[in-house]
Structure 1
Amino acid sequence: MRCSMLELQDVGRRFGDRWAVTGATLRVPDGQFVGVIGRSGAGKSTLLRMINRLVDPSAGRILHNGREVSALRGAELRRWRQTCAMIFQQFNLIGRLDVLTNVLMGRLNHVPLHRSLLRLWPSQDRALAFSALEQFDIGAIAAQRADSLSGGQQQRVAIARALVQEPRILLADEPVASLDPRNTRTVMDAIHGINRRYGITVMVNLHSLDLAHAYCDRLIGMAAGRVVFDDVPAALTDDVARTLYGLEAGEVLDAPQARAPGPGLGHAIPATV
């Protein structure tokens, strides 16, 4: 039986005369936790945005289980973005709305437009959204405005919103870049728990090599828009890190060692985070 697979075939993206990504070729089996590493401007965000089709490739093909994702349009493209959920460093929540409604936005492709506009969410969708919040120990804040939450809470709400899309792939673009160490650990545990509990493929852009070593099954290293490293974390030597990060290598190599991931979605997370 053939393994389900996300494939990039010589994918590139050009902005004007500059190639942000060029010649990216990858095969990612279902269920892997993949870290994408490299210095700022290496092409990490553009790579993930092409997979989600927020940015169209200028060259190459993206496929999932043999279906060409890079050719999808209209309703088929919307369905792909439901299958391939994305979370961002900026959280992208609607601050004036309550937490539960923000999570329910992940169900937009599952309900008629008029029901979502009037917030007439089916009871099963409301139950699903609340269950997702409970899994991240933030069910108690379901009625609070999103803009009243801490950064760690907001990112967990964004992850819950992605989870209720019922995706097969989760893309995370620097999801902990704006968080303190405690919230970084909490959010990374949440993403790791989704991967382990549901078998959802995860690709996450990370700046910290300690986090990459602690959480990822595989690392993709990018430099100047190209994939220059693709291996298990143990194969990432200091010399390879210096090749990837250049003058920034000291910053990523000298950070305190991250702890191993927690037990997943069911572990206790303080409600005040």
Structure 2
Amino acid sequence: MLELEGLTRRFGAKTAVDNITLAIAPGEMVGVIGRSGAGKSTLLRMINRLGDPTEGRIIWRGRDITALRGQALRQWRSQCAMVFQQFNLSPRLDVLTNVLVGRLCHVPAWRAVLGLWRETDRAIALSALEQFDIGALAPQRAGSLSGGQQQRVAIARALVQEPAIILADEPVASLDPRNTTLVMDALQEINRRFGITVLVNLHSLDLSRRYCTRLVGLAAGRLVFDGPPEALTDAVARSLYGLEAAEVIGAEPALVAA
């Protein structure tokens, strides 16, 4: 169980996340929705401890994550993998090596520095790529791939960490409809097949309703909705998105199937 207790983050006079209390059960796929600037990215970064809360606590299986430092904090980040909007790959390295970076928490540092990866780690990385139908791309430079391919590589890298939780921060924001489908399918497959808890920040209500079993809505850093997708009415959407509501409530272009 992941529990957030009164989680708050301030930047000077601005409150980005305001007193959020949530409990996320193992195996849930939760969509975090809201307009730009609502606090979605700040919330996920605090959970991973890329940013520290101003107030409140993060509890994982009874352990206070906000108190972790040093090696204990690194271990937490290995259990709580991040997928970023801009992929965060090394463009000059081949795809397989980029995925192998996700194994750093499982191998001695000297092996990674020297590139002396164990065959078992290579097999795990290649299996993750094949899981998302991109095994053939393993020898290619990451920078030569399309945005959708790079994002699937980033998801494969997160998967080989063997995490309990994956946090995906606007993973499809810069992708076309076809690649959006492929990336969201990949996250859903991880959730369903491996039982990994997924928290994904999304701007699109259509995608949120289609892929997530639970939606959490933020407005001005505050929690204003928490429930199943079918409970997200147009009125709630307007409270979340304000003047942008007309854009996200209306029908969106059909996504191209893989």
TM-score bucket of the superposed structures, by smaller chain = over 0.9
1:258 deviates by 5.7
Q: SS state of the match for residue 178, structure 1? A: coil
1:256 deviates by 2.2
1:255 deviates by 3.4
Q: Report matched runs for 1:62-73 at 5 Å.
A: 62-73=58-69
How far, CA to CA, are the matches of 2:253 and 2:227 in structure 1? 20
Q: Which amino acid aligns with 1:180?
A: D
State the TM-score, normalized to the length of structure 2.
0.98
1:103 is the counterpart of 2:99: yes
Partner residue in 1 for 2:117: 121
Contact 2:178/2:255 (<8 A) preserved: no
Q: Which amino acid aligns with 2:127?
A: S
Summarize deviations over 1:32-85 as a string: whole Å, max 9, x none.
Answer: 000000000000000000000000011000000110011100000000000000
Contact 1:210/1:258 (<8 A) preserved: no
Q: Which among 240, 252, 255 is matched to residue 256 of structure 1? A: 252
Q: Which amino acid aligns with 1:174?
A: E
- Matched pairs, number: 258
Q: Report matched runs for 1:1-273 at 5 Å.
A: 5-256=1-252
Q: Which amino acid aligns with 1:212?
A: S
State the TM-score, normalized to the length of structure 1.
0.93
1:16 deviates by 1.1
1:22 deviates by 1.0
Structure 1 segments of 4+ aligned residues over 6 angstroms from their partners: none
Structure 1 stretches of 5 or more lacking a match?
263-268
Moved more, 150-159 or 251-260: 251-260
Contact 1:214/1:259 (<8 A) preserved: no
How far, CA to CA, are the matches of 1:198 and 1:256 in structure 2? 30
How far, CA to CA, are the matches of 1:185 and 1:195 in structure 2? 15
